[in-house]
Amino acid sequence: MSLYVMKFGGSSVGDIERMKRVAGRIADKQDEGHRCVVVVSAMGDTTDELIDQAKQLNGQPPAREMDMLMTTGEQISVALLSIALNGIGRSAVSYTGWQAGFRTDETHGRARINEIDPRRVLESLKREQIVIVAGFQGMTVDGEITTLGRGGSDTTAVALAAAIQADVCEIYTDVDGIYSTDPRIVKTARKLNEISYDEMLELANLGAAVLHPRAVEYAKRYQVKLVVRSSFNHNEGTVVKEEASMEQGVVVSGIAYDKNVARISILGVPDVPGVLAQVFGKLAEEGVDVDIIVQSGVQNEKADFSFTVALSELAHAKKVIEGLHSELPYREVTSEDNLVKVSIVGAGMVSHPGVAAQMFDVISKEGVSVKMVSTSEIKVSCVIESGNLQKIIQALHTAYNLDTEEQAFVGGPKDRR
């Protein structure tokens, strides 16, 4: 009997009818002779609704209390799914993250998993039960409830699959695999049969929402066989693995975008050793993640440099920089927030010169200037103004021979578009 971890996102369990459909899907998997551990997210928009309610009461709610609140969404899901399975004659048991053995650090809102003790999960499997585990949550050694950050249910599923040595970890969502780009923007996006861990990690970090980056990191580290597929049909999904074969004629595997981008420029900075370390060390100390960094030429012993941060971190990052002014006498700080980062990813890029030049050409033909560029062996990212995003993604998709004749599948039968 193979051991499967099956993860269902919020859209898959968004209402009672979808919950019933998921229960049937799990029962079918058990009927095929497999043991099942299921990880579930909160139903539909529950998490967003809880955040909204908290902010109506307090504009800056305490992080600890937010974790207490946010974990209730998943607890509702696991209990309802277990009830649904028992209702169709299956023996199922639900566990919170901490009951399932997830121990984390003490960072509320974005905790990291320190260890997993899956004894209760394994004991339930020995009793031939279907085990339903709440995603996104854990507990510190001191008994404090924590959450893993948005998208943390993916991380829960993959980490648990590694801990119990599952044969497969299946991520069920509202698309039937990993596509060459967002199928909501490009209807003729190409569904990939397989993709490497490295390519998927780049896409996830660059904005592709189908998998959480930390989940891909876990899968790569522990060699977890990862499959992304739809909870609304039985189509073959996409396998994420160590090495993926490159499709004939396809150098770029995927195109990702990130709208959560802002640029900060610090102008007239003294050109002396240690300035960059001072600025970015302070930002890191304050928990601000910096992405692309570009320094311009030096003039009159002064330099300008720019960097990108998450749009949600813009105000905080500017406050940190302004706090450095007394010890770092720069001339001015400016910022832009009408930006988007567009990226191409593909393992074949390393052996095909001219891929980046082609990207720049496509963007320029849409009348858009490239503000910043970042590259690696398997990706090129460009920060541009956000106005022409959809046209640029479609143009890039066509330029790199990714268009197909088929329409991408998104959502359930009533949501297909």
Check whether 140 is labelled as a binding-site residue.
Answer: no
Q: How many residues does the chain have?
A: 417
Question: Is residue 226 situated within a structural domain?
Answer: no
Contact residues for 364 (Cβ-Cβ < 8 A; gap 6+): 370
At 89-134, the pLDDT tens digits run 999 999 999 999 999 999 999 999 999 999 999 999 999 999 999 9
Check whether 179 is labelled as a binding-site residue.
Answer: yes
Antiparallel, parallel or unpaired: β 226-230 and 168-173: parallel
Question: Is residue 257 situated within a structural domain?
Answer: no
At 363-404, the pLDDT tens digits run 999 999 999 999 988 999 999 998 889 999 999 999 999 998
Check whether 10 is labelled as a binding-site residue.
Answer: yes
Of the candidates 266, 317, 326, 249, the one whose C-alpha atom is nearest the C-alpha of residue 287 is: 317
Q: How high is the pLDDT of residue 409? A: 66
Q: How high is the pLDDT of residue 247? A: 60
C-alpha separations of 301 from 53, 86, 89, 251, 270 in Å: 52, 73, 76, 43, 6
Q: How high is the pLDDT of residue 414? A: 40
Check whether 232 is labelled as a binding-site residue.
Answer: no
> For residues 258 and 90, what is the distance between their CA atoms, to the nearest angstrom?
42
Check whether 172 is labelled as a binding-site residue.
Answer: no
Residue 47 in tokens: 């998490």
Question: Is residue 10 situated within a structural domain?
Answer: yes
| Sequence letter at residue 28 | D
SS3 content of the chain, % helix, strand, coil (to 5): 35, 30, 35
Check whether 184 is labelled as a binding-site residue.
Answer: yes
Q: For residue 77, what are the domain limits? A: 3-173
Of the candidates 376, 309, 304, 378, the one whose C-alpha atom is nearest the C-alpha of residue 339 is: 309
Check whether 308 is labelled as a binding-site residue.
Answer: no
Reported as half-sphere exposure (CB side, CA atoms, 13 A), residue 165 has a value of: 3
Check whether 187 is labelled as a binding-site residue.
Answer: no
Question: Is residue 313 situated within a structural domain?
Answer: no
Question: Is residue 203 situated within a structural domain?
Answer: no
CB-CB contact of 240 with 226 (8 Å): yes
Q: How high is the pLDDT of residue 232? A: 83
DSSP string, 387-401: TTHHHHHHHHHHHTT
By CB atoms closer than 10 A (0-12, 13-18, 19+), residue 285 is: exposed
Question: Is residue 143 situated within a structural domain?
Answer: yes
Question: Is residue 407 situated within a structural domain?
Answer: no
H or E segment to which residue 268 belongs: strand 254-270
Contact residues for 370 (Cβ-Cβ < 8 A; gap 6+): 360, 363, 364, 382, 383, 384
Question: Is residue 270 situated within a structural domain?
Answer: no
Buried b (16+ CB within 10 A) or exposed e, 237-250: bbbbbeebebbeee
Tokens 């970090």: give the residue: 205
CATH number (domain holding residue 156): 3.40.1160.10
Torsion, Cα 221 223 229 231, to 10 degrees, reads -80
Helix count and strand count (H, E) for the chain:
11, 18
Where are the alpha helices (H) located in 297-353, listed in sequence order?
314-323
Check whether 95 is labelled as a binding-site residue.
Answer: no
H or E segment to which residue 92 belongs: strand 92-95
pLDDT tens across the length of the chain (417 residues):
799 999 999 888 999 999 999 999 999 999 999 999 999 999 988 989 999 999 999 999 999 999 999 999 999 999 999 999 999 999 999 999 999 999 999 999 999 999 999 999 999 999 999 999 999 999 999 999 999 987 799 999 999 999 999 999 999 988 889 999 998 889 899 999 999 999 999 999 898 878 889 999 999 999 999 999 988 888 899 999 987 666 655 789 999 999 999 999 999 998 888 888 999 999 999 989 999 999 877 777 888 999 999 999 999 999 999 999 988 889 999 999 999 999 999 988 877 888 999 999 999 999 999 999 999 889 999 999 988 899 999 999 999 999 988 777 676 544 322
| Domains in the chain, number | 1
Contact residues for 184 (Cβ-Cβ < 8 A; gap 6+): 410, 417
| Sequence letter at residue 41 | S
Check whether 318 is labelled as a binding-site residue.
Answer: no
Task: Look at the pTM and tell me if it is higher than 0.75.
Answer: yes
Q: How high is the pLDDT of residue 361? A: 95
